[in-house]
Structure 1
Amino acid sequence: MIGRVRTAARAAVLLAAVGVFAFGNTAPAAAQDSNYPSRPVTMIVPFAAGGSSDVIARAVAEQMGAPLGQTIVNENVGGAGGSIALARAARAEPDGYTIVIGNAGTNAATYTIYPKLSFTPESFVPIAMVAKTFGVVALKKEFPANNVQEFIAYAKKNPGKINLGHAGVGSSNYLICKAFVQAAGVDVALVGYRGAGPALTDLIGGQIDGVCDAATSVSQAIQDKLVKGLVIGSTKRLSTLPDVPTSAEAGIPEFEAQGWNGLFAPKGTPPAIIAKINAAARKAVAGEAVQKRLKDLSSVAPDEAEQTPEGLQQVVTRDVAKFRVLLQEK
């Protein structure tokens, strides 16, 4: 009897030890989740400063800090249409301290453009969509065309001689260029930069003929008459750019360029942390400061469903398929 008691006691001790070994990290992990964030969070921006993604990232990050109780630090990592930044984000620790702001280019089209990437759509966990944007084609002031039909006529007389700048192959701005060129049926050269900001700077300086950009970053230059807006890939004119015609008004209704910006975290980031970041992002987007900033930038806030992780995932899945078709067309 005594032997049985001793055996049972040993078994209980052994089971307890196994339990500690197997589940000993559960409490600390849960504690880490509940204490998150205990230090600043880095938001990687896949392009140079000054572009639409950068401007939106800074506006949202500034307002996310308060509900999270920590500073959100923006870090610009340009190159390869955003894929360098996405690769870095995918390798980051899935602890919520590194997130990335992406768009239809970096998180959807890039998988067709760069088929041998070190990351896949499954490398990221969607957090929230934070802005919806509209693509614009703008020209340098001296360009000898003032509307789309004049542009098309000039381009057909000068095939391959017009150059349009964008934020790099794989960026959302590159997709705007591709959609515009296909809809217009013209042969132009597409020039990639490390971000929309440098491309716009060169356009203002007259080094290139035009840019494909989000209204978010190019609208101020159009308003200041530093460049001239040619067309917007939207179904209605923007209040901030009342003189820029829609694609239908310009005679190329096939030109659609409505984009988005969303936040993502590395695969494996705990759901509790994703929920905290999502709540902070939604509070920021709903706030007066971001609402005003988005309006000033010729952008709009996503609807409630699009601000959920599930809503953003649906948009990513849709766009991966859409751009696979677009980018394979000649």
Structure 2
Amino acid sequence: MPPVARRPLFALATGALAAPWIAGGARAQGNYPTRTVTVIVPFAAGGPTDTVTRLVAEAMGRDLGQTVVVENVGGAGGTLGAARVAQARPDGHTLLLHHIGMATAPTLYRRLPYDPVNGFETIGLVTEVPMTLVAKKDFPANTLAEAVEVIKREGDRLNYANAGIGAASHLCGLLLMKAVGTAMTTVPFRGTGPAVQEVLSGRIDLMCDQTTNTTEHINAGSMKVFNVTTAERVQSLPNVPTSKEAGLPEFEVSVWHGLYAPKGTPAEIQQRLSKALQAALRDEKLVARFADLGTAPVAQDRATPDAHRKFWQADIAKWKPIIQAAGQFAD
């Protein structure tokens, strides 16, 4: 895949190259969408964000009356895919579906080829997904308390997988190691799918991943699970305790997903996309599939541009001191 062009954001709004985009966008507003809509997933295929996106894209396509395709642009903790969308034509035909990494990138990355805060228009929140602490089948613990004892005893002799710096699994791991007070050897992978496969194979000891990607493996008995990282238990994993129930209340995090368009996308198109997103989140097939994966759509009033932006800004403020205290940056 060709490298992302490192153009400044003002080039998207000024200059000879930008003018046709703006004019074209203005002409297209009345009959948007005029062609296939592409939703960029900034992670490898098979991961939890990919799973969520494919369900949303299929349902949105029915409301928009156009095919909505998913393209995986993984790498650099999700920033390569985000950059692709930030630099795309702001006409509503190239979108981004990203997770909590949109709130952490402004602190994790000190140099980016796009503006991580002002380079996008928000369309709406999609879902908040619980995470699970999982382990290989023969890991020598059966409860979270026992797992904590093993972590403290073995320390960096244990391997902890993540999908790269800035990925949800990386952030969850930071929170776990802070709560336990012990560092493990972290092993980054290019995407969540490959990392999960290494846990399933027994070559990796532990991983923290979203229920959308672990529920089926847990219910099949192919990996151990110690807890869910939310305040309440998950319907698809009713026997799995919460972090608080398992004795580690400070180990609590959920992974939210939101839909974005490039900065400068006309307000009418933003609203049309938000309407299609809201329709998708009411889709019975999507709701049922989300439930199978241990999550649910957000309330309709959160699937709006304004609600999404307010939530995003608040989460940026929440994660900034945590990342700075950890002293782990992606560049």
Unaligned runs of 5+ in 1: 1-24
User: Highest CA radius of gyration, 1 or 2?
Assistant: 1
SS in 1 for 2:133: strand
Deviation at 1:190?
Answer: 2.1
Report the aligned-residue RMSD.
1.5
Question: Are 1:161 and 2:162 an aligned pair?
Answer: no
1:178-217 aligned at under 5 Å gives the runs 178-217=174-213
Deviation at 1:114?
Answer: 1.0
Distance 2:103 2:22 in 1: 35
For residue 122 of structure 2, what is the aligned residue in structure 1? 126
1:8-23 aligned at under 5 Å gives the runs none
The superposition leaves residues 116-175 of structure 1 with CA deviations (integer Å, 9 ceiling, x where unpaired) of: 112221001000111110111100001111112211211222121112212211112211
For residue 274 of structure 1, what is the aligned residue in structure 2? 270
Distance 1:145 1:215 in 2: 20
Question: Are 1:65 and 2:43 an aligned pair?
Answer: no
Question: Are 1:233 and 2:229 an aligned pair?
Answer: yes
Distance 1:198 1:94 in 2: 33
Question: Are 1:306 and 2:308 an aligned pair?
Answer: no
For residue 42 of structure 2, what is the aligned residue in structure 1? 46
Structure 1 residues 28 and 253, CA gap change in structure 2 (3 angstroms): closer
Distance 1:29 1:215 in 2: 38
Deviation at 1:26?
Answer: 9.6
Distance 2:24 2:218 in 1: 53
Preserved contact between residue 136 and residue 213 of structure 1 (Cα < 8 Å): yes
1:88-167 aligned at under 5 Å gives the runs 88-105=84-101, 107-119=102-114, 120-167=116-163
The TM-score, its normalising length taken from structure 2, stands at 0.89
SS in 2 for 1:159: helix
The superposition leaves residues 267-322 of structure 1 with CA deviations (integer Å, 9 ceiling, x where unpaired) of: 00111111111111110011101111110110111122211111111111011111
User: How many corresponding residue pairs?
Assistant: 305
Preserved contact between residue 262 and residue 312 of structure 1 (Cα < 8 Å): yes
Preserved contact between residue 25 and residue 90 of structure 2 (Cα < 8 Å): no
For residue 292 of structure 1, what is the aligned residue in structure 2? 288
Question: Are 1:176 and 2:176 an aligned pair?
Answer: no
Deviation at 1:28?
Answer: 6.9
Deviation at 1:31?
Answer: 3.6
SS in 1 for 2:74: coil
Distance 1:238 1:303 in 2: 17
Preserved contact between residue 152 and residue 186 of structure 1 (Cα < 8 Å): no
Amino acid at match of 1:328: Q
Distance 1:209 1:219 in 2: 18
Deviation at 1:109?
Answer: 0.6
1:216-255 aligned at under 5 Å gives the runs 216-255=212-251
Amino acid at match of 1:43: V
Task: Calculate percent identity across the aligned residue pairs.
Answer: 38
